[in-house]
A and B are shown apart, each in its own frame.
Chain A
Amino acid sequence: MSGLGDQLANRLREERTRRNLTQAQLAELVGVSRKTINTVENGIFIPSTVLSLRLAKALGTTVEELFQLR
Chain B
Amino acid sequence: MKPQNVVEFADQLSRRRALGIALATVAFLGVQLVARPVFRSDGYGASGPRAYMWALNAAALLLLLLPAGGFIWGRRVRELVNDEVSRANARTGAAAGFWMAMAAALAVYAVAASRALSAREAAYVVVTPATAVALLAFAWLESRAHRDG
Q: Are A and B associated in one complex?
A: yes
In the complex, are the beta carbons of A51 and B144 less than 8 A apart? no
Q: Which residues of B contact A36 (CB under 8 A)?
A: 83-85, 145
Q: Say whether B42 faces chain A, with CB atoms less than 8 Å apart.
A: no
- Chain B positions 1-32 with a Cβ under 8 Å from a chain A Cβ: 5-8, 10-11, 14
Contact with B along A9-51 (1 / 0, CB 8 A): 0000000000000001001100011111011001011011001
Point out the residue from A28, A44, A45 that lies within 8 Å of B5, measured CB to CB: A28
Chain B count of residues within 8 A CB distance of the other chain: 21
Q: Which residues of A contact B84 (CB under 8 A)?
A: 32, 36, 45, 47-48, 51
Point out the residue from A24, A38, A47 that lies within 8 Å of B146, measured CB to CB: A38
Q: Assuming A28-B5, A42-B149, A44-B145, is B88 touching A34 (CB within 8 A)? A: no
Q: Assuming A28-B7, A35-B145, A38-B145, is B81 touching A45 (CB within 8 A)? A: no
A49 to chain B, nearest CB (A): 11
Chain B minimum-CB-distance residue to A34: B11
In the complex, are the beta carbons of A33 and B83 less than 8 A apart? yes
Sample (27) of A-B pairs whose CB atoms are under 8 Å apart: A24-B7, A27-B7, A28-B7, A32-B83, A33-B7, A33-B10, A33-B14, A33-B80, A33-B83, A33-B85, A33-B86, A34-B11, A35-B83, A35-B86, A35-B146, A36-B83, A36-B84, A36-B85, A39-B85, A39-B145, A42-B149, A44-B144, A45-B85, A45-B88, A45-B145, A48-B84, A51-B84
Which residue numbers of B lie inside 8 Å of A, CB to CB? 5-8, 10-11, 14, 80-81, 83-86, 88, 142, 144-149
